[in-house]
Structure 1
């Protein structure tokens, strides 16, 4: 047995021994990847990644595997394959990789898993923006563990999730893939996802590191004009939480350039911040073709050898999805653009990952990879339904909800009978199956029409009214007539996710403004004009401006792409079986323009009388949501009003349920800094707790707030805790605060070392 195959040896010993035996070409092979082309005859054209067809041209299996291979790209996620066929393909690929490697080194198989395993017949969970609406890290951790278990069962080693970009512009198409506009919410949910996936034996991959979501005008891949403070305090924070507290094993770079420096070649970011400051010791993989983009898009490299040298030199270890630019690394060494020792550092990290995954153990046999698996098992569907139920947000209700027995319901709108509107762009049905129209969705996904009809029977009648995007008003008259003869109109509007302009939400599907897509706004107006009470149900991947309609609706419900069980979850919310407990992870704008503006803004970024005629305040704020039953928050208290700049205080919030049914509330704690040496957000979320109490029950929520949670990047670009007066604002949204608690930080200006306290723990003491 070779030393590197001995599981009893320390991992670093095994890596060092194998690395010493590899030639330069074999080392480069470990930094590369290959994306198998579809094997099914007659497969339709269509890219599932940006510029896939052109950039994949000329990359052959023989060339990619001649000296070994680092990664196998999306064996399951490229075309519809059964579990048995997918396993056969994966085993065959791994057998060839092992045979072509002088030392029999398998490849890491990676897949997308943002809304669940992106594979034919696999469970489609709610989109990530819906995770944000749950405000429930434990639930997201359980969901991620279920996703990881499915991936691991069929031989997948690495999942390309979660996405930790913080929303800065609602027009950006990938808002649906984020968990919201607040870095604390994004970071805590992201770390929970990482823990769940990795506990199942699959390495998680944070993306997109960093700044991607702040692209100019919300346009995909656009430059990011952002200063160091905002970058540090908003964009980097979620990644740091997932590294330090989630223990993530992989990170993927952003496509964007921040202040002119592309992330793929930014050594300060990929090595200085990620590794030197945060102690990350895993593998950095490229977003698809990001290394090539250094030459072809960013134009910071004169050719592929230079681009490859820049990326590896910066700390980007593996090129995905194909070995294109990294095939020129040997030439880069010959030209003196990079030395072999730098390549060795990257290769050692890849080999260490393979050791950790068991791929260098002596008993690895490609014929035994994976096993038959139901990828949409009943337990998965129950969990998908739970996430969906907890993500639905009730925004307004004049008493029309829950729908009363015997109510005649006109179900109208493009999202009423189109189940694909429930699923994100990285769900397999929307991501791939559009190219295979004869295969359906691969799983059972009921429409809202089916769900409500199953529940209410003949009381439900349907008229689509209008399509999602096309400017077709031919169905208006039938919709209006139906609404006029019904007790209530449930009007389901919103998005249909797609890729690169083939949808209204998703990667490359950016919006010019925040009006409802197509003629849906006109449909809403037409139905409202009937005078029939309207329950507006928005099924979307981004927030849309509802200020023109909301005050005329009897109720407003926001469902952020609730996945395959979305119909059942929405039906149960609308009929009162489930008490809505979701809260907004993004604000809902009042107007289609004058945006974007998230709640995380300094004074001059918020409303100020006389400064501008544009009011950025949302119609419904971050953190907001109603229920059929509500918890009452009493006056919160602090255990002290003075705390050292390295100390800690405790916030105690009394909560009670005076109602007659169980009730849930997200108790939220925001920080306000009275005076600081740089401008700071007016308020920022620093803690939250999702609490459910039975009727008549009371409890106390206690938050432990360390002074590090008040830290920020100071005028000298060092992270500091600044003495002075501040307050904690406790409430149920960023606008609705019940108690303001002033306190003073005492002592001298403190520079915060690496390893600061990143989160605000809480406990629930029941009476």
Structure 2
């Protein structure tokens, strides 16, 4: 099994561990045969129906051949997700801010260790082969974060193709391992291609861009993962490109991926993306399911996440495809099974010996802390207010993100055994200091909420909390499949295929949430139901609110006048109509935010730390969000929510130093807020150890060294005014790169890509090139002297940009090399970076591809992308 580069790589996992007891004598069981021979043997044994049953993410078992059912769908964006306890590292955008390829590789080696350990135990001990229990991971997301409004940008490595490719290849290698015979897991490059929002119209959006932007911005990371990383799976996107859905796109899949790049691995569809083909409200490009299935298959979408491929028999009967077409995809799918060793004896695969003790191990926890520290970007530090003195007598911690551990986990996350919030991190750092904590406000709600979940009992004189009953039918009939009591805010979701509760199906369900509520005051009590599908809210048998269907717009808050001490019977009935279930239910008191009161409480502190920003509850994938400035998981503007801006302004009036700890998955336009804080610390969504890392940076136990992987524009107007006016789309929906990101932006942003301060001070000497003139196929080495002129040891990221002179169509500058380096106090290091022929590749219309271009270039180097912080050298390419 040496040559595992032959591809079937998308979603192969859980099936691999068929144990020796079920092994038959068929040739495909013989590990001494070549992979090709084993595939052909197994292919010949399978019936057409069995093949089709194995071409969807919920792969069906073939008992007569000892092949178990298998769930291809698995997630590991920044730790193993949705599969119980796992180490949770910083969100992907935070990992990108580390600019540390070796540590990124190490992180994903740990993630894949936990993945294999979970798979080994799940299969060996419980015989589980379902969703989130396999070895095929739909990670990483290498789409370009072209616009800060995109809610899923937090899942990416930022706006630059080279940085994205470098970190993406490291993630793939860490996930897939280095064994010559078997992959540890499968990685997946997603979403191919030209996919970065908006979320609300991704099922119908048609991206139309120039081939220059396509090749210079949107495709380089995918090419790198395919060719350098040998990624075994590629996921095609929901949107269309030039009028064809991406999962059946002639140019993207047939010409580029399979043609130019010779990709031999698996292509998998995004979940239910094929259903968009024939639904008129979405792409509507195909008449029915059988034509959709046939077209996707002929474009080599091998494995579908969804159920449209159930129609492949109809496609076959209608003559739209042949069994030969099915076999072409099945070869790549079966190759995945063999690559992962899922059909081989357990002893044959060395990855099967990874013990479960690696999961949530101390070593992995320390790596999560290390990466959280490395991800933090010190963006502003006026008058060197940071680091703070640990002997400080009184400190105020204010803000909606100060004590929110869920926020720190981002999206597509696992479940850590423990999480340290920012408040907890500071308290642990300063056991003897007086700490004043005030939440101050919500993330985006202009009112202050007091949750009243504790006012519920499951029934009169019952246990505290609300009774939650789930039924495996949409009509609340019969005995509940699961009953529990929930004494906190109700929040259930099956998005991504997670189970609502043990024993509860993923589709065709209903829920009844009920309890006795005793009001603790006379006045308005707010009931907030924010759900998918159909629901009815009843109080004392009276209908208070109803939602008639999954597409119906509806308010989420329902104020009800209540009397202090009176009991009310509350019931929320929810019925599932769509693919996913989302049930959110809260009861609270709303009062105006009293900014003056907050200011009064913290005015005597020596320093105020404000922990605010955004939350994955507001930005993310195709979300039901009802808040000003947000739509469908995206932002409609890039300002800090108004309530936070007002609170920051009030805190500034105390006259005390204000440190803003920004938690976010995207860039914000903070120009109008800059006057209201002295220091700005970007902590992203820092994972399970985010709070400890923030405290370490604030008090100088860790010297910050992260760099921005995205541009922080001054405001949304600065971005939109610079965008191309030739596109038929405007603003966020415009995919043209003109005016976007540091590579094409000609104005000065608030904070540039690559920016990041330190408690050390670094100076750059005059660099030298190994050659001043090179051929188009030659490499050149840049030697950069870096000196730490301060009294504190520190790390610096040396960034190298290439500018193509006298070419108005080329990017203003583009990152081509970087290296993170540790430089002791009062010491110098010479950093050597290599510029390969790829560094001088730009789009050529005649070739309709990137080609190495001769001409005059300027090599720029420093610790930022800002011109003011860069030195330069000329280079001629002949």
The answer to whether TM tops 0.5 is yes
Partner residue in 2 for 1:186: 164
Deviations 1:508-547 (A, max 9, x none): 4100000113511211122123322111111001111111
TM-score in terms of structure 1 length: 0.82
Matches within 5 A, 1:344-363: 344-361=327-344
* Residue equivalent to 1:512: 636
> What residue in structure 1 maps to residue 827 of structure 2?
697
Determine which of 645, 665, 686 is the counterpart of 1:541: 665
| Separation in 2, partners of 1:151, 1:606 | 37
Distance between the aligned counterparts of 2:773 and 2:86, measured in 1?
53
Q: Which residue of 1 aligns with 2:128?
A: none
Cα 1:117–1:338 change in 2 (3 A) is: same
Q: Deviations over 1:24-46 (max 9, x none)?
A: 11211121232xxxxxxxxxxxx
1:707 aligns with 2:831: no
- Give the TM-score normalised by structure 2: 0.72
Structure 1 pair 253–475 and aligned structure 2 pair: CA distance change class (3 A):
farther
Deviation at 1:660, TM superposition (A): 2.4
Q: 1:421-570, aligned counterparts within 5 Å? A: 421-428=407-414, 443-457=417-431, 458-472=433-447, 473-498=592-617, 500-502=622-624, 508-517=632-641, 519-570=643-694
Equivalent-residue separation in structure 1 for 2:704 and 2:205 (angstroms)? 37
Is 2:220 aligned against 1:245?
Answer: no
**Cα 1:160–1:216, aligned 2, differ >3 Å: closer, same or farther?**
closer
Q: Which residue number corresponds to residue 491 of structure 2?
A: none
Are the structure 2 counterparts of residues 151 and 568 from structure 1 closer, same or farther at C-alpha, using a change threshold of 3 Å? same
Residues 1:599 and 1:722: Cα distance change in structure 2 (over 3 Å):
farther
Whole-angstrom CA distance in 2 between matches of 1:454 and 1:338: 64
**Other structure's SS at 1:548 match:** helix
Q: RMSD of the TM alignment (CA)? A: 2.8
* CA deviation map 1:85-132 (0-9, x unaligned): xxxxxxxxxxxx352x54535535441111211123222111000011
Q: Distance in 2 between matches of 1:596 and 1:98?
A: 54
Mapped contact 2:722–2:739 kept (Cα < 8 A): no
CA contact (8 A) 1:595 1:616 kept: no
Residue 455 of structure 1: how far off its partner (Å):
1.1
Residue 680 of structure 1 aligns to a residue in which SS?
Answer: coil
Q: Do the aligned partners of residues 552 and 477 (structure 1) sit closer, same or farther apart at CA in structure 2, a change above 3 Å counting?
A: closer
Match of 1:305 in 2: 290
Cα distance in 2 between the residues matched to 1:532 and 1:178: 37
Would the aligned equivalents of 1:305 and 1:329 in 2 still touch at CA under 8 Å?
A: yes
Aligned match for 2:876, one of 744, 762, 765: 744
Pairing partner for 1:729 from 860, 863, 866: 860
Q: CA deviation at 1:492?
A: 0.8
**Candidates 390, 395, 406, aligned match of 1:420:** 406
The 3 A distance-change label for structure 1 pair 699 and 277 is same
User: Displacement, 1:696?
Assistant: 3.1
1:605 correspondence with 2:569: no
1:31 alignment partner in structure 2: 55
Corresponding position of 2:243: 260
Q: Post-superposition shift, 1:2? A: 1.0
Gaps (5+ residues) in structure 2?
1-24, 120-133, 178-182, 448-591, 725-734
1:243 to partner: Cα distance: 1.5
The Cα of 1:21 is off from its aligned counterpart by 2.2
Question: In the aligned structure 1, how far is the partner of 2:332 from the partner of 2:37?
Answer: 13
Deviations 1:42-95 (A, max 9, x none): xxxxxxxxxxxxxxxxxxxxxxxxxxx36xxxxxxxxxxxxxxxxxxxxxxxxx
| 2:489 match | none
Residue 117 (1) aligns with residue 80 (2)? yes
Larger radius of gyration: 2
Secondary structure in 2 matching 1:389 = helix
Q: Distance in 1 between matches of 2:142 and 2:286?
A: 28
Q: Compared with structure 1, are the counterparts of its residues 364 and 693 closer, same or farther at alpha carbon in structure 2 (3 Å cutoff)?
A: closer
Aligned partner (choices 762, 774, 791) of residue 660 of structure 1: 791
Contact persistence 1:168–1:214 (CA under 8 A): no
2:202–2:239 Cα contact (<8 Å) kept:
no
Q: Hey, what's the Cα distance between the residues in 2 that align with 1:606 and 1:110?
A: 34
- 1:435-457 alpha-carbon deviations (Å, 9 max, x no partner): xxxxxxx6311221111111123
Q: Do the aligned partners of 1:671 and 1:685 also contact (CA within 8 Å) in 2? A: yes
Aligned pairs for 1:51-66 (under 5 A) are none
Answer with 493-502 or 236-245: which moved more.
493-502
Aligned equivalents of 2:601, 2:207: Cα separation in 1: 48
CA contact (8 A) 1:4 1:15 kept: yes
Gaps of 5+ in 1: 35-68, 71-96, 430-441, 609-613, 747-767
Query: Does structure 1 conserve the Cα–Cα contact (< 8 Å) formed by 2:377 and 2:683?
Result: yes
Cα 1:219/1:262, change in 2 over 3 Å: closer
Are 1:115 and 1:424, in contact at CA under 8 Å, matched by a contact in 2?
no
CA displacement, residues 117-152 of structure 1 (integer Å, 9 cap, x when unaligned): 112322211100001100011111111111111111
TM superposition shift of 1:654: 0.7
Question: Comparing both structures, which one devotes a greater share of its residues to helix?
Answer: 1
CA contact (8 A) 1:133 1:393 kept: yes
User: How far, CA to CA, are the matches of 1:700 and 1:637 in structure 2?
Assistant: 10
Q: CA deviation at 1:227?
A: 1.8
- Could you say which structure has the higher strand fraction? 2
The equivalent of 1:234 in structure 2 is 217
Checking the alignment, whether the CA contact within 8 Å between 1:651 and 1:702 is kept in structure 2 is yes
**What is the SS of the residue equivalent to 2:87?**
coil
Q: Distance in 1 between matches of 2:669 and 2:201?
A: 16
Local SS of the residue matching 1:154: helix
Structure 1 residue aligned with 2:300, among 290, 296, 315? Answer: 315
Q: 2:396, 2:338 → 1: CA distance?
A: 59
Please identify, of 144-153 and 405-414, the stretch whose mean Cα deviation from structure 2 is larger.
405-414
Which residue matches 1:688?
818
Q: 85, 91, 95: which is aligned to 1:131?
A: 95
Distance change >3 Å, CA 109–CA 290, structure 1 → 2 = closer
CA contact (8 A) 2:608 2:657 kept: yes
Change (3 A) 1:603 1:130: closer
Cα displacement string for residues 561-587 of structure 1 (whole angstroms, at most 9, x for unaligned residues): 110100000000000000001000011
Is residue 117–residue 359 contact of structure 2 (8 Å, CA) maintained in 1? Answer: no
| Deviation sequence 1:140-169 (CA, Å, 0-9, x none) | 111111111111112121111011011111
Tell me if 1:404 matches 2:389: yes
1:94-173 correspondence runs (5 A) = 97-99=61-63, 101-102=64-65, 104=67, 107=70, 109-118=72-81, 119-155=83-119, 156-173=134-151
Alpha-carbon deviations, 1:303-352, whole Å to 9, x = none? Answer: 111111111111110011x4x11000011011121222111110010111
